[in-house]
Each structure stands twice: as C-alpha cells, then as structure tokens.
Amino acid sequence: MQTIKELKIKYKERLFDPVVTLWAFLSQVLDNDKSCHNAVSKVIAYLAGSGVEIPSTDTSAYCQARSRLPEKLLEKLFGQVAQSLEEQVTTEYLWCGRNVLVIDGSTVSMPDTVENQLAYPQPKTQKAGCGFPIAKIGVIFSLATGVAVALVIDVLNTHDINLARKLYQFLNPLDILLGDRAFCAYADMVAIKKLGGDVVFRKHQARKTSMRKGKIIGDCDKIVNWYKPKTCPKGLNKDEFDALPQTIVVREIYYYIFIPGFRTQQVSLITTLLDTTTYSSLQIVDLYGRRWDVELDLRHLKSTLGMDVLRCKTPSMVRKEIYIYLLAYNLLRGLMWSAGTTYGTPPLRLSLQGTRHHFNNFIPEFLAASFQKCLQIYCTLLKVIVHKAVPLRFGRSEPRVRKRRPKAYPLMTKSRQQLRQQLQTA
C-alpha cells in the first residue's frame, strides 16, 4: 500500500483493487495452471468463507483490473524487493569484499497478435503468420543472492551491449560486473570505471591474444594497454566516442579447460582488477566460472516459472507480465535467503522449484491463520525449504541430445488462413 500511495495511484473501492489484483497476478505466474480462470477461482475460494457476496466466475473484471495496474507500480515493487534483499547481504557472502553482479540477455515469446507483432516483431527469417513476436530482455542478477536487480525490455534485433548500456545506471560504486564476451567493449569498460566499478569479461573474439604484448605479472597473467578504436562503434554517437580516453590499462588472464564435454577449451579474461595481491588470477578464474549462475537464473525464470512463453496479448500487458514474473522470482529468492541464513545452509544451493512448491502449498494456511499463527507457519515453511537442497555436481557434463521424440507433424510454413484454404479446396 505504501508504494501505491507514493505513486499516487487512484482507484475505486471494488473487489479487484490493486492489492487483490496484484496478489491474483502473482499467484497466477507461480501456479502451473496460469489461466485467468484459475486465478479468479482462487479469489472466489478465499472469499467463500468470509460471508461476502461471491463474485462471478467470469474473468472480465480481473483482466480489466490487471490492465489498470500501472507498469510503474510493478517495476517499482520488483526493484524494492531486490534492494531489500541486497541490503541483507553480509561480508561473508561477498567476493573479496566486493558485490558482484552478473549480466546477460535472453528472449521471450508472446501470443501472435497484431499489437504484439508491431511492438516486438517476429524474426525476419520467418514467414508472416508462421512465427511469434519475440522480445529481447537484459537482466542483471546478484551473484550473492541470485536476485534479479535490474531489467530492460527491447525488440529482438537489439544487441546485448545496447541492452547493457541501459542497465549501467543500476550499478553502484565498487560493484563488479561479470559477463561473457558480448559485453567486452572498450567504451563500456570506460563507462563502468567512471561509475566507480570494475569488470570481469571474457575477451571478445574479434580481439586477438598476443603473447608478445603486455607486462607479464604471473603465470598466464599480464597487464596490457588497450587503445581506443579507430572508428566509432555502433551504438555510440560522435560526442561519446570523442570523449573516450586514448588508452586504458586492463589485465588479461588466459587459461585452458580440460574437461570432457566442454566445448570451450581456451578462455581469455579481461578485467580492470589490476591488484594482483587482492585479486589473484585463480580467484578471478574461479569468479568467471560462477558466471554460469546467470544461465541457471534465466532458466529458472523461463523454464521453472514459465516465462519463456508469455500469455498477454498487448505490449503493455506483456511488459507487466515480465515484471510480475521477476517480482515472483525475487520473492522466492527472498524466501530461500531467509531459510538458508536461518538454518545455516547456503541459500544458492536451495531448490527454487522446491521453494515454489512449498510456498504454493502453504498459501491457504497463511490466508486462514491469525497473525501469531502466521509467524509459526512461516518458520515451518523456512524449515521445509532448507530440506530441499541441490547437491554440487563437479565436472558434470551431459550430451546435448533429446531422447523424447516430437510428434511427426510437419512444420508450419504458411499462415493458418492459407492452410485452411488448402484444406477446403483439397
């Protein structure tokens, strides 16, 4: 309610006010059945024992209430939950006393409506009527808590580096940004250093590694000077390009991987962490190995929670749906953090899927209990969440194959209207 007052959101007294609508929206994305009918049914079930008039099972009122929710409200709530969890991080969970954020990009698809196609067009390689609108998202996650800190949404053909430049505003001084080779650009390292942060990126494939250049400071570890590009890169205007320094000093660490099943065999890292005493090469290599956590976080969002395929039919509702998914994800991360820190288990080793199952099953008990009883139920919830820990699997590698065969139907190469006409004329 405090956030609603801060944003000066006005609403009429009705069943689906912003609080009830937000609760129903969250329960909708957390459930396996993500239909609006199921969300409305939960509201009716809650009201059944309250002695009030039971609303209609029609979903129209709920859908209209969702569309009235301001996008800014969901964005602010998502950020507040992330900030609240980040403030609970103690020194023991930091890396060399520094907060590490991991950045990556991904995509989500949505229903094939005219509005969605105009805002987030499908790939140009697909014929009209044969594909789905796709949005590109850039997300920053906290390495300590796994929480999503910042989000940006754009069209499919947006490069990851352009998404990243919209996310730098969420970095704090002394933050370390960890990312793959897509983010390793001269201008971006300069921008992050100006913000008081540092980077650890994999070296971009366009830059060649030379053993002759640079000052050797350790095994497979050297200090090198990077020179400003001769031409202005895409995504920068002339003024921004002219303001770049002529050179920057970076540290390059290169190593080899001898693990069966790993496609990558040689890695070169570029970092602005020049102090070899505080940040050894082995520590930085180990840190980059944890970059894989962002892939798991995105998999939790897209596969575990189901954000991979959205359900809303307008661009504004699509953005709200993405924010509500990230809000639900952050709330689950908050439960995992509380459970892990309370019972002495690493929060990142707890199962997000298991946490979601337990939370969904405990919701009816919370709704029916008094305040004192809720505290007892909450403690029990944390205790059972800790029981679902994911074991470490060192050196695990699996072949990239599928065992389950898909249905033997041909791929769609024409629009449905054209295919129906073929059936009628056959």
* pLDDT tens profile 330-343: 999 999 999 999 99
Task: Kindly report the pTM of this predicted structure.
Answer: 0.93
**Is the predicted pLDDT of residue 8 greater than 80, yes or no?**
no
Q: Mean of the per-residue pLDDT values for the chain? A: 91
What is the mean pLDDT of the segment spanning 266-278?
A: 92
Position 261 scores a pLDDT of: 65
CA–CA separation, 254 and 273 (whole Å): 15
Q: How far is residue 47 CA from its own chain's centroid? A: 34
Position 16 scores a pLDDT of: 87
How do residues 290-317 score in pLDDT, each as one tens digit?
A: 998 999 999 999 999 999 999 999 999 9
Q: How far is residue 387 CA from its own chain's centroid? A: 25
**Is the predicted pLDDT of residue 265 greater than 80, yes or no?**
no
CA–CA separation, 252 and 270 (whole Å): 5
**Is the predicted pLDDT of residue 36 greater than 90, yes or no?**
yes
Mean pLDDT lowest for which of 64-68, 178-182, 256-260?
A: 256-260
Position 395 scores a pLDDT of: 67
Q: Longest C-alpha distance within the chain, in Å? A: 80
pLDDT band at residue 213 under the 50/70/90 scheme? confident
**Is the predicted pLDDT of residue 211 greater than 60, yes or no?**
no
CA–CA separation, 195 and 179 (whole Å): 17
What is the mean pLDDT of the segment spanning 204-230?
A: 82
**What six digits make up the tokens of 56?**
């209609």
**What six digits make up the tokens of 253?**
């660490």
Backbone angle region of 324, left / alpha / beta, with phi > 0 → left and psi within -120 to 50 → alpha: alpha
